[in-house]
């Protein structure tokens, strides 16, 4: 069981990365309002059928009184390769409903497909465009070698946009518009590895 202070740190640490923890947006007073001793979402939750290994990462945000979770679902084999990027909603942060699959990886384990594994969906609203952007990582995948760990390699950050304009388009559907970050000719060998 994870200690309570660890749970709090895991919630607070990302604030320092974004600058909020450094009070760049004014004074911030964080208060723990609720804590659960059990996971809120598991592979046994309604809507998680077919999710073999669980959830990892993503982002939760609140829009018009509804919480939106964008997360990676580890749905099958190969483990950490066959993935879905999913959208869930909740009225209260406790009871979640799966809304849709945004993208699903191929699960290809030959090292040839640049979208074999998909991870870390992050929605960002662009006021200038008047639509939601969804950024995520796509990897090529192959078995580990004796020399190095490279199951997920050649990672690229993709950008997709909601076909529905306005803040109400948060659920998509999303369409890919291109890669925004990838290895270059001067990249080090470790770059792009998971």
15 φ, ψ (degrees, to nearest 5)? -65, -35
CB 75 within 8 A of CB 101: no
The mean-pLDDT minimum among 7-21, 151-165, 169-183 falls in: 7-21
Cα-only R_g, the chain: 18
The pTM (predicted TM-score) of the whole model is: 0.79
Q: Could you read off the pLDDT of 126-135 as tens digits, one per residue? A: 999 999 999 9
CATH class of 40-181: mainly beta
Q: What is the pLDDT of residue 53?
A: 95
Confidence band (pLDDT; 50, 70, 90) for 194?
low
What distance in Å separates the CA atoms of residue 49 and residue 69, rounded to the nearest whole number? 17
Give Cα separations from 193 to 169, 188, 190 (angstroms): 32, 10, 6
Mean pLDDT for 15-38 is 66
Given a cut of 60, whether residue 153 has pLDDT beyond it is yes
Contacts (Cβ under 8 Å, ≥6 apart) of 84: 51, 72, 73, 75, 101, 102, 103, 104, 105, 118
Mean pLDDT for 177-183 is 87
- Domain range annotation of the chain: 1-35, 40-181
Q: What is the pLDDT of residue 20?
A: 44
Q: Could you read off the pLDDT of 56-102 as tens digits, one per residue? A: 988 999 999 999 999 999 999 888 889 999 999 999 999 999 999 99
Mean pLDDT for 33-62 is 91
């Amino acid at each position: 069981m994870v200690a309570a202070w660890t749970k709090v740190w895991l919630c607070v640490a990302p604030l320092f990365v974004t600058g909020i923890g450094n009070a760049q947006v004014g004074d911030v007073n964080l208060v723990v309002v609720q804590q659960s001793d059990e996971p809120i979402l598991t592979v046994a939750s309604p809507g998680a059928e077919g999710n073999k290994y669980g959830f990892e990462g993503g982002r939760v945000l609140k829009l018009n009184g509804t919480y939106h979770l964008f997360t990676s679902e580890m749905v099958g084999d190969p483990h950490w390769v066959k993935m879905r990027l999913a959208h869930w909603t909740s009225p209260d942060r406790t009871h979640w409903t799966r809304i849709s699959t945004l993208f699903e990886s191929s699960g290809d384990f030959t090292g040839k497909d640049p979208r074999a594994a998909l991870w870390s969906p992050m929605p960002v609203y662009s006021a200038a465009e008047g639509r939601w952007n969804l950024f995520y990582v796509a990897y090529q995948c192959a078995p580990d070698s004796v020399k190095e760990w490279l199951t997920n390699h050649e990672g690229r950050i993709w950008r997709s946009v909601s076909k529905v304009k306005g803040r109400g388009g948060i659920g998509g559907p999303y369409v890919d518009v291109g890669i925004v970050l990838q290895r270059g000719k001067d990249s080090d060998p470790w770059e792009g590895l998971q």
